[in-house]
Structure 1
């Protein structure tokens, strides 16, 4: 009897899983979850990717070899008064209405319940082994905002895992509900240093600036959706069997055991989900933000880079949702001009910028013509980061962008704004791979001279340039591993953890 049970357990372990992944409605989240879905599908598992119709339509294509194991299912987003028509992602709404999107997102509970009931209602075949999408879901991988989902999953006995795309240190900084009750933080000053539950002595540099802490404190207060972001995280975490993170111990040593202690459940690194290597410094790397081969080949940014000397160009990109203002765009532009370096700028219009208002200072493009290129709209970022002409990356320190840059060993000029970006910048500065643009205490204002000084330290000053480049290369080697497969092994370990703690497993 014991032998039969062992054989059955081994057979279950060999079965491909059916995993449902359901990200929050923001492109950084959608792309990271898609990257995880691709990694799971490459290991033979079936992945159902849930989102809303417009977001599903905007997803990059899955590689042909994986397309049979990744399917998308669109859930209709209910209308909410005040939310613009057709708004289905945070990129579609101004920041002051972002919480209304969370209210609409909560309205997905009913269509999700219908989806899951149908997915779990299928009868087993005669031999009891349905596969792929015919199999009832083994796991649902959720994001921070899904506080309503886990009770629905519990009704069908489908376990949930929470996948965090931000820096794991940020989740540890947020802390558990229990730790926050024991050590309450009330004022903005309370949110600046690392909290008491961090191991002592924690690095004094790992702290939020005042303007960052003010944004962080707001996450703990109810918003227009009726539920604070931290309440969403805590309710979701409470009902999940395990926590997974886009991260690895090589970048954040010691944080994963701390997370397991704080939340009293497995805290598993899923790896950095790095872009494929391709011809890494020759322009062959690809990632989820890249379009088709034809789109990439035609893109003017890559053709312009082909004409530039090796490691001479600063790539500038502040993501899709950093709270950039027209004034900060002007200061950044004038700082790039003052620095004297070559640059390629993926420029996004600030959400508050009035239609027809010039984004750049008058005469800027004429004065920098020949050494600078500004690209409005989509840019194949992974290909750009991989290009041999790119020597450094000026970034808002979104964790996804920084993780991509680590794949190619690029030093950083860092201009963080919100979320985990400040802590990402502090950690990268500690590792000696980046220089942060100086900001004014209190409101976080920066000027053109601050930008130019940071850029020159990374791209011009001989001693600093060499040291930063060397440190960036060493960190690249550390995260990739000697055989290039270190990050993929974290995905393997995540899959084993899902098997171990699945519907028949325990914590």
Structure 2
């Protein structure tokens, strides 16, 4: 594997304090290190301790720096990531994140004062709008790496487009005026509440969209966990909209066997025991090919007890085999659900009635290993971008149950590509769904004749994203851009 051109770089990476961000940043770091570049991964002590291990061959080029997590009134003791607070309550994490500015400035000053090599680049997440000015004091350029669906960033749009075309809440239920027609990209009414909230200041004093705008505007270019095969034409649109190069890193899926130990945005951040892995995988080994639907709604989706009840009854009505990686709703402590907790959220008698064809597992589930099993025929997912990519890699059609952030837009895009269906919801502010909605969607993808169409479309996507040579080429081109200094910036604002 080449270094992508030129000599070795020295790169600092700093992800947002969420494991759905830290894991892709770690994969980006490992790929840089594997190409002969030195990488410093910055986070806080507890987050660094919970990351999966780095392959021994990369440890000499990949070091970890922990900045002290500043105390914030109302933030639980020991909370250092979004996994440590209830879903939707990450505003205090953002406030604490802003308190990392002084420690980061000290880290940079100490690095320079010690006579060490100054970084060639700092790659940052959306939250760190305060960092580029610190980097500029040392003449270090920044790039921003956004791990969500690229089309979601285009939907949110740049500052100039939002100024030219202001949107009221219901306007987010239609494609923005800067999207090329025809497009199905839009939020549902219940999802629009999240996106409207992203435009409003939160407890940190800064809105999420303002963070993103300031960060992108202060960086040389923007990196996306995407590629043209997954999102045709979107990166070119983003380059035009934001007047910055929009650069694909590829899908950044961790190759086996490293996957077995790695957590994803849908795994417990502390990993799991080999016994947990063996039990779920052994059960799958005993099931017929393509007979099981894997169910996982992530570790941080705002799922209610009512949602879980209806989902369970829908799986029962659908009559198919299932493996359900269940998380407690509204996790607000620093520990995760234990197997004993399942009965608290499931309908009375559910596990007895589905025994033999269904497994509910509240321990850690190795998601990518599960998706790689021959018994799995589909994935019922919240449409987190990482989970969606993992499903596409293995060619599984989707049953989609989105909740927040970019999940609704991911679901629209995947439905438009014909790789699955959404669970029907009420068109109201709550977006409620029932057991019959779940059962109907599951049966369309797993049982009825339509499943063949979804399966064929999913296989086509698998072929498109499974070209490892092309995926490596995307990353090599990214490294070449880092060597070249980041390309041209056009700050002209259009209206």
TM-score where L is the length of structure 1: 0.89
Provide the C-alpha distance between the structure 2 equivalents of 1:232 and 1:289, rounded to a whole number of angstroms: 27
Alignment correspondent of 1:16:
8
Which runs of 4 or more aligned residues in structure 1 lie more than 4 Å from their structure 2 counterparts after TM superposition? 284-287, 290-294, 352-357
Alignment correspondent of 1:254:
233
Q: Displacement of 1:310 after TM fit? A: 1.3
Provide the C-alpha distance between the structure 2 equivalents of 1:287 and 1:168, rounded to a whole number of angstroms: 27
Change (3 A) 1:198 1:271: same
- Deviations 1:156-179, CA, capped at 9 Å, x for gaps: 111110000000001111111111
Q: Displacement of 1:65 after TM fit? A: 1.8
Q: Displacement of 1:30 after TM fit? A: 0.8
Provide the C-alpha distance between the structure 1 equivalents of 2:332 and 2:23, rounded to a whole number of angstroms: 26
Aligned partner (choices 177, 193, 199) of residue 196 of structure 1: 177
Alignment correspondent of 1:337:
316
Provide the C-alpha distance between the structure 2 equivalents of 1:56 and 1:274, rounded to a whole number of angstroms: 20
Alignment correspondent of 1:104:
96
Aligned partner (choices 358, 364, 373) of residue 372 of structure 1: 358
Aligned partner (choices 217, 232, 235) of residue 211 of structure 2: 232
Alignment correspondent of 2:492:
none
Q: Which has the larger radius of gyration?
A: 1
Alignment correspondent of 1:156:
138
Provide the C-alpha distance between the structure 1 equivalents of 2:60 and 2:464, rounded to a whole number of angstroms: 34
Mapping 1:416-427, distance limit 5 Å: 416-427=402-413
Mapping 1:310-389, distance limit 5 Å: 310-351=289-330, 358-389=344-375
Provide the C-alpha distance between the structure 1 equivalents of 2:387 and 2:33, rounded to a whole number of angstroms: 23
Alignment correspondent of 1:401:
387
Matched, 1:268 2:260: no
The alignment partner of 1:485 has SS state of: helix
Structure 1's unaligned 5+ residue stretches are: 1-10, 124-133, 279-283
Aligned residues: 474
Change (3 A) 1:202 1:371: same
Aligned partner (choices 52, 55, 61) of residue 47 of structure 2: 55
- Deviations 1:263-289, CA, capped at 9 Å, x for gaps: 1111101111123166xxxxx965732
Provide the C-alpha distance between the structure 2 equivalents of 1:268 and 1:296, rounded to a whole number of angstroms: 40
Change (3 A) 1:15 1:192: same
Higher relative contact order (CA closer than 8 Å, sequence separation 6+): 2
Alignment correspondent of 1:289:
263
- Deviations 1:214-263, CA, capped at 9 Å, x for gaps: 21011001111100000100111111001000111112111111111111
Q: Displacement of 1:352 after TM fit? A: 6.2
Change (3 A) 1:12 1:338: closer
Matched, 1:495 2:479: yes
Q: Displacement of 1:486 after TM fit? A: 1.6
- Checking the alignment, whether the CA contact within 8 Å between 2:276 and 2:364 is kept in structure 1 is no
Q: Displacement of 1:117 after TM fit? A: 1.5
Change (3 A) 1:119 1:202: farther
Provide the C-alpha distance between the structure 1 equivalents of 2:117 and 2:80, rounded to a whole number of angstroms: 29
RMSD after superposition: 2.2
Mapping 1:426-465, distance limit 5 Å: 426-442=412-428, 443-461=430-448, 463-465=449-451
Change (3 A) 1:33 1:12: closer
Change (3 A) 1:300 1:402: same
Provide the C-alpha distance between the structure 2 equivalents of 1:398 and 1:321, rounded to a whole number of angstroms: 10
Structure 2's unaligned 5+ residue stretches are: 265-269, 490-495
Provide the C-alpha distance between the structure 1 equivalents of 2:408 and 2:273, rounded to a whole number of angstroms: 36
The alignment partner of 1:469 has SS state of: helix
Alignment correspondent of 1:25:
17
